[in-house]
Amino acid sequence: VLSLTSEGTSSMLVPAGDHYTMTDFAIAYFREAHFQDISLPTASPMAEPSLLRLKARLCLAALMRFMGDQPKHKHQAEVQCIYEILQVCELLLGKEQKHQWEWRLRGWLLLNLLTGYFLPSKILMPYATKFLQLASSDPSMEGRDEEGEGRGTRGADGTLHVLLPEHCPSQKGHGARRLVVLMPGGMEYLTRIRTFTVAKELLQEICEQMGIGEQQEIQDFVLFAIRSDDKNLGKMVRPIKLEEYLHDYLLEDKLVTVTLRRLIWRTPLHFDNQTYTDVHYGQVSQSRTLPSRDRCGVPTNRNVPRGLKKQEGSELKEYIPKTLQPSISLKALHNHVATLLRTRQPLQPMDAKIQFIEHVMKLPFFGYTIFIVERISDNRVPVPCFFGVNKEEIILVDGTTQVVSQVIPLKELQKMRTLRPISDGGLPGLELSYGSPSSPRAMWVELSQVRSAWTCTFLLTEWQGRL
């Protein structure tokens, strides 16, 4: 029933009508005629203890051959070992005797594991798909989204995630793994994931906690896997696709953490949920919508001064862009800010965060992800400058005047590749090929966050391709 080679497509067609139920599958493939093929008695498997021992030995032997602990039979393929396990366990008995419940649950667990690791064959696919359709409309089944669709039903390679019965140990948390998701602003979201939990399930869960119900807004967020080098030499950032298993990132390496970030800003923000507000404030306050003061004259800490305790103007000076400092009277600015602080009505912390977000949203480069460029192939652009990308375009911005020097629409981007440093101690680079086939163009930039810049640009380019 299971194939080790990919046969399916990326779409999942749901069989219509009352056919292709799991009961039909059990009758067609796991009844007496098929058990006779492996020389098992046709009587009820629960009738005699000796039959149970025989079935257990057959299942264990098949499992050991599949795992490589025992040699396979002559001309026996790995998939045939799986056939034996499925047949011997009698996964899909249509009987409802109470004393069979534990055995049936074990069968469901094995089917869940096998369909998660191996792409179902063309024989099993319509039955499993129909089961998922029925499970999504059954209130006793867990793992449904608000539209009634089964969550996490397909892995990155097309494998199916078969939903388990409500009372199965895996549905009650047994075998689940604790996962901490790092949120913007230093917040942490604690959850538990199972063996075949996919990123879409986790993303949906977090968005529900933030009061996000629209699919369009949910798609604006991305989960990232970040691997911190144990020698503190840097980080590797990789986006997690919606259909990918989270365990694939977490099983082998304890240095990997999962983070959440809003990548696209196409839906209006709503501040009716405290977690939603805190997450967006955390991301906006740490973003490079306003670059750091060391590069552009705007401080990294964008909190309004709580008081003016230093000498007149000295505390405010670090909040003034360097290009504007010669034209501003620090004494006049000090007096103006002091007046505002005395007359302004006090704000609750949540209201202050909302006002800050709304203010930043009005800035010219809001929605762009900004990176600092140290060198560039175009000599007309002074460095250091800024490399910004949003859902529509790439921009290069003058680091002093903040004037946009160049614009590359994402739809014209043909290829990207990272470049090694050209000298010891140098920075890596990112090469962009863009333009039309008749008029190709290329440009390279050197920046410290080349992997993040490549990942962000790739994700936004891929997202635009789905429009």
Which candidate, 149, 156, 157, places its Cα nearest to that of 198?
156
Element (H, E) at 396: strand 393-398
| pLDDT for the residue numbered 161 | 53
| pLDDT for the residue numbered 464 | 66
Q: How confident is the model at residue 318 (pLDDT cuts 50, 70, 90)?
A: confident
CB 12 within 8 A of CB 154: yes
What does pLDDT average to over the chain? 75
Higher pLDDT, 269 or 127: 269
Which candidate, 140, 148, 26, places its Cα nearest to that of 92?
26
CB 443 within 8 A of CB 431: yes
| pLDDT for the residue numbered 77 | 80
Q: Which amino acid is at 310?
A: K
Instruction: Please check the confidence at residue 87 and state whether its pLDDT lies above 60.
Output: yes
Evaluate whether the domain defined by 369-465 bears CATH number 3.40.350.10: no
| pLDDT for the residue numbered 51 | 61
For range 228-256, the mean pLDDT: 75
Higher pLDDT, 163 or 206: 206
Which candidate, 68, 59, 112, 115, places its Cα nearest to that of 88?
59
| pLDDT for the residue numbered 231 | 53
CB 82 within 8 A of CB 118: yes
| pLDDT for the residue numbered 262 | 94
Higher pLDDT, 287 or 437: 437
Q: In percent, how much of the chain has pLDDT > 70?
A: 67
In this predicted structure, which of 22-36, 152-166, 231-245, 249-263 has the lowest mean pLDDT? 152-166
Higher pLDDT, 145 or 53: 53
Q: How confident is the model at residue 20 (pLDDT cuts 50, 70, 90)?
A: confident
Residues 6+ apart with CB under 8 A from 414: 433, 434, 435, 440
pLDDT digits (tens, 9 = 90+) for 432-465: 999 988 899 999 999 998 888 998 998 888 876 6
Q: How confident is the model at residue 151 (pLDDT cuts 50, 70, 90)?
A: very low
Rounded-to-integer distance, Cα 293 and Cα 318, Å:
8
For range 338-360, the mean pLDDT: 89
| pLDDT for the residue numbered 155 | 53
| pLDDT for the residue numbered 325 | 81
CB 433 within 8 A of CB 416: yes
Q: How confident is the model at residue 89 (pLDDT cuts 50, 70, 90)?
A: low
0.75 surpassed by pTM: no
| pLDDT for the residue numbered 230 | 55
CB 118 within 8 A of CB 157: no
Strands (E), 58-206: 177-182, 188-193
| pLDDT for the residue numbered 50 | 60
Q: Which fold has domain 177-262?
A: Ubiquitin-like (UB roll) (3.10.20)
Higher pLDDT, 176 or 334: 334
Q: Which amino acid is at 307?
A: G
Rounded-to-integer distance, Cα 423 and Cα 330, Å:
44
Kindly report, as residue ranges, where domains of CATH 2.30.29.30 are found in the chain.
369-465
Kindly report, as residue ranges, where domains of CATH 3.10.20.90 are found in the chain.
177-262
CB 402 within 8 A of CB 323: no
